[in-house]
Amino acid sequence: MLGKPARHWWMRYLAAGLITLASIVIVAVLWRRLGAIADPGLILLFTVAVSTYLAGGMAGMLSAAIVLFCSIVLFSHPLYPFRYSEMDWRQMMVVAIACPLIALMVGSLKEQVDRLKIATREVQALRDEVRRLEVVKEAQFLCEQRFRLTAECVADYAMCVLDANGSVRNWNAGAERIFGYSDPEIMGQSYSRFFVKEDLLGRQPERLLEQARFSGRAEEEGWRLRKGGGRFHARTTLLLLRNSSGAPAGCLLVTRDLTQFQPATGA
């Protein structure tokens, strides 16, 4: 069974052949039988050009071959087949030389037009993709801006975005105040530096990340470290973030300093 490209290939050649044969029949009737036209050469040349443009260069060469073969009969003397008058020879030479040239030139033009159409479609697709990326980029910027504005309004909480490995990607003013790190100091660093030595030995940062990936949320209360090694009691919450396809893309870390809520101990 022929595939779609093969069917189209035969259809192009069939269309070129039918157009050429129909033109030759019309020329034979108008020129040979009725004498309605003085020179059939222009019609035949136009037929080759149309066949080439519609069906391609190879189909145009086939059309030119059919025209040349039929012209031998059309231009021959009615009483003496394959004998030509001086006028018929000139017409025959014009057709014989011009048909292949027209097929080659129009075929080349057709190929360039097809390439231009393909290039135009690719450029349009690229423009659409660029516009889509610009929309996504703008939406991402607005989302990050909303997060930043919201996080800055919540000064009592340390809020930051972690990537899939637990490294800090975003940082609010409350986090800088509670943990003591500035943006350049903490960006790209693992959030495990906020945990005390006992928790690091027990792999608590990794377990919280795994729990958040599994259930979408992880929460723990314990001791945390500030810059310089100072400890404070805090509640840590990890919320799973997902990308547009639903795959895990990191976590939102929310930490609240509970030191002020601890009961005072007597001396």
Domain residue ranges of the chain, discontinuous segments joined by +: 4-125, 154-260
For residue 263, the model assigns a pLDDT of: 55
- Find the helix or strand (DSSP H, E) in which 166 lies: none
Separation of alpha carbons 44 and 223, rounded Å: 94
Strands 157-162 and 248-257: antiparallel
User: For the packed helices 4-27 and 57-74, what is the interaxial angle rounded to 10 degrees?
Assistant: 30
pTM, full prediction? 0.47
Indicate the SS3 state at residue 77.
coil
183 dihedral zone (left: phi>0; alpha: psi -120 to 50; beta): alpha
Task: Collect all residues with Cβ–Cβ distance below 8 Å to 248 and sequence separation of at least 6.
Answer: 164, 213, 240, 241, 242
Q: What is the pLDDT along the chain (267 residues), one digit of tens a residue?
A: 344 444 566 677 777 777 777 777 777 777 666 666 666 767 777 777 777 777 666 667 777 777 777 776 666 655 545 555 545 666 666 667 777 777 777 777 777 877 888 888 999 999 999 988 888 887 777 777 766 666 666 667 888 889 988 999 888 888 888 899 988 889 999 999 999 999 999 999 999 999 999 998 999 999 999 988 899 999 999 999 887 778 888 898 999 888 766 554 443
Asked if 212 contacts 251 with a C-beta cutoff of 8 angstroms, the reply is yes
- Residues near 198 by beta carbon (within 8 Å), at least 6 away in sequence: 223
Residue 142 structure tokens:
């607005």
Closest CA to 151 of 178, 169, 171, 179: 171
Beta bridge partners of 240: 251
- Contact call for residues 64 and 24 (beta carbons, < 8 A): no
Q: Any residues with CB less than 8 A from the CB of 234 and at least 6 apart, and which?
A: 178, 221, 222, 223, 224, 255, 256, 257, 258, 259
Question: What span, in angstroms and rounded, lies between the C-alpha atoms of 225 and 151?
Answer: 21
> pLDDT, tens digit, for every residue of 50-102?
777 776 666 677 777 777 777 766 666 555 455 555 456 666 666 677 777 77
DSSP assignment string, 186-245: HTT-BGGGGB-HHHHHTTHHHHHHHHHHHHSEEEEEEEEE-TTS-EEEEEEEEEEEE-TT
CATH number of the structural domain 154-260: 3.30.450.20
